Amino acid sequence: MANAVCRSCCNPLQHLFVDLRTAPLSNNFLRLEQLNQGSIHYPLRVFVCEQCLLVQLEQFESPRDIFEEYAYFSSYSSSWLSHARQYVNTIIPRLSLGTSSSVVEIASNDGYLLQYFTPYGIPVLGIEPARNVAKHAEAKGVPTVSEFFTLAFAKQLVSKQGTADLIIGNNVLAHVPELQDFVAGLKTLLAPTGTITLEFPHLLRLIKDNQFDTIYHEHFSYLSLLSVSHLFARYGLAVYDVEEWPTHGGSLRVFARHAEYAELADSPHVEEMLRQETAYGLRNIATYSRFPEQVKAVKEEVYRFLFQASRENKQVVAYGAPAKGNTLLNYLGVGIDYINYTVDKSPYKQDLFLPGSRIPIYAPARIQETKPDYIIILPWNLREEIEQELQYSREWGAKLVVCIPKLEIY
């Protein structure tokens, strides 16, 4: 990463966090006719900025190339829908939102969250760059604009419909290469007394729980409260509250306001989370340098399991086709020689092939048809939900497998 600079503070990047070799874009699923073609692999080398502590990848492809046609639909996860509904039911009274309020969600996907504002008559707008996904939101009656959120677009929105009382961004901040422009856009769009809520996987959990498979090219940044607070402060925004959530293996939801709007008092949760991050060592570069050893340990464990299963002629399949699963499989260098196939509930992914490993993706009914010996749960963050769905596989003695934070067969 010669001459690279931090996308948050422009400090030179010199400290390696982890090197996961190379991989294709994790959501570039292949069609049958593409199997005889080559694919582009990019480095998965992650660095940490010693100045603002942002952990980050280089940018190899533009967001337009990655997100204009997207394979992830939020509504296929029942637990995520429940999380979204709960958020809406608590944020409305908390911020006293009503029919004269304005709510904007950035990266609103298929309307999974904004649909829950509709019964309250609160005006909403979704901003979703993936046109194929935005169409599903529109079909639900959620007004959606297919654009990338930038400072220039924020200015356009303000001129057309004014500022927003609530700006929501779930799992979007990590996907933004132009962080400075994005946060400047948030500042511009936010009403003087408004609130921004952003959710993102917590870097502290990534390190503690060895979640290296959440590193992929669509995730440009890996965020702590320390790094986000640094970033927001430079643009006149302040984090005034933070909550921990179990979603995506452990996430933070931060509440931010204009720094000058002091009527929204700071919660003690902010100082407590900063204390936790500091106590774990996230202000110390040496903490980050120890991460590669954890990653290597998992790699060796999974290799041993797959090799032994193969020697015993056991059938191993996978459940799910998430981006994190593709990081894991490409880092391992594993394909159909060890994992016969995977399944996914999303029709958008069925009958395609995983990028890199080229493992075929089927509908979940395939598991009942082939009765495998082992089922690897790739989206381990949905482990409990998937375990319930796979109860029937116990009839023939199938065992479930998760690989993160360590190999577990049960």
Residue 68 predicted with pLDDT over 60: no
Structure tokens given for 15: 């400290």
CA angle 112, 116, 121 (to 5 degrees): 135
Pairing mode of beta strands 374-377, 316-319: parallel
Q: Hey, CA dihedral for 348, 46, 65, 169, is it positive or negative?
A: positive
pLDDT bucket at 73, cuts 50 / 70 / 90: confident
Which tens digits make up the pLDDT trace of 346-370?
A: 999 999 999 999 999 999 999 999 9
Residue 60 predicted with pLDDT over 90: no
The beta strand positions in 92-223, using DSSP E, are: 103-106, 124-127, 144-145, 164-170, 190-201, 221-222
Which one of 250, 266, 288 terminates a domain?
288
Cis upstream peptide for 360 (omega within 30°): no
pLDDT (average), residues 66-80:
70
pLDDT at 276: 98
The beta strand positions in 208-332, using DSSP E, are: 221-222, 237-245, 251-258, 316-319
pLDDT bucket at 65, cuts 50 / 70 / 90: low
Cα–Cα distance for residue pair 93/101, rounded to 1 Å: 12
Domain coverage including residue 85? 65-288
Structural domain includes residue 180: yes
Structure tokens given for 334: 């594993």
Same domain for 284 and 309: no
Structural domain includes residue 364: yes
Structural domain includes residue 32: no
Same domain for 221 and 328: no
Give the gyration radius of the chain's Cα atoms.
21
pLDDT at 8: 97
Structural domain includes residue 41: no
Same domain for 341 and 284: no
Q: Which helix (H) or strand (E) holds 135?
A: helix 131-139
pLDDT bucket at 63, cuts 50 / 70 / 90: low
Same domain for 265 and 124: yes
Output phi, psi for 359, to 5 deg.
Answer: -75, 130
Across the chain, mean pLDDT equals 95
Same domain for 270 and 212: yes
The number of C-alpha atoms within 13 Å of 298 and in the hemisphere containing its C-beta is 22
Same domain for 328 and 234: no
**Which residue, 169, 251, 178, 248, is CA-closest to 213?**
248
Which tens digits make up the pLDDT trace of 232-276?
A: 999 999 999 999 999 999 999 999 999 999 899 999 999 999 999
CA angle 205, 207, 212 (to 5 degrees): 100
Percent residues over pLDDT 90 in the chain: 92
Give the domain CATH number at 381: 3.40.50.720
Alpha helices by DSSP H, listed for 149-290, are 151-161, 179-189, 203-208, 225-233, 268-280, 285-289
Residue 62 predicted with pLDDT over 70: no
Which tens digits make up the pLDDT trace of 184-222?
A: 999 999 999 999 999 999 999 999 999 999 999 989 999
Residue 2 predicted with pLDDT over 60: no
Which tens digits make up the pLDDT trace of 387-399?
A: 999 999 999 999 9
Same domain for 341 and 217: no
Structural domain includes residue 128: yes
pLDDT at 58: 86
In total, how many domains does the chain have?
2
Residue 66 predicted with pLDDT over 90: no
Same domain for 387 and 252: no
Cα–Cα distance for residue pair 81/245, rounded to 1 Å: 14
Let me know: does 207 contact 215? Beta carbons within 8 Å.
no
pLDDT at 74: 77
Give the domain CATH number at 188: 3.40.50.150
Same domain for 147 and 243: yes
Cα–Cα distance for residue pair 288/290, rounded to 1 Å: 5
pLDDT (average), residues 222-226:
98
Same domain for 112 and 192: yes
Which tens digits make up the pLDDT trace of 312-332?
A: 999 999 999 999 999 999 999
Structural domain includes residue 112: yes
Structural domain includes residue 34: no
Same domain for 189 and 107: yes
Cα–Cα distance for residue pair 339/357, rounded to 1 Å: 10
Which one of 230, 257, 288 terminates a domain?
288
Structural domain includes residue 403: yes
Which tens digits make up the pLDDT trace of 7-38?
A: 999 999 999 999 999 999 998 999 999 999 99
Residue 137 predicted with pLDDT over 70: yes
Which one of 260, 288, 316 terminates a domain?
288
pLDDT at 69: 56
Which tens digits make up the pLDDT trace of 281-315?
A: 999 999 999 999 999 999 999 999 999 999 999 99
pLDDT bucket at 70, cuts 50 / 70 / 90: low
Sequence-distant (≥ 6) Cβ neighbours of residue 235 within 8 angstroms = 180, 183, 184, 186, 187
Pairing mode of beta strands 164-170, 103-106: parallel
Same domain for 182 and 141: yes
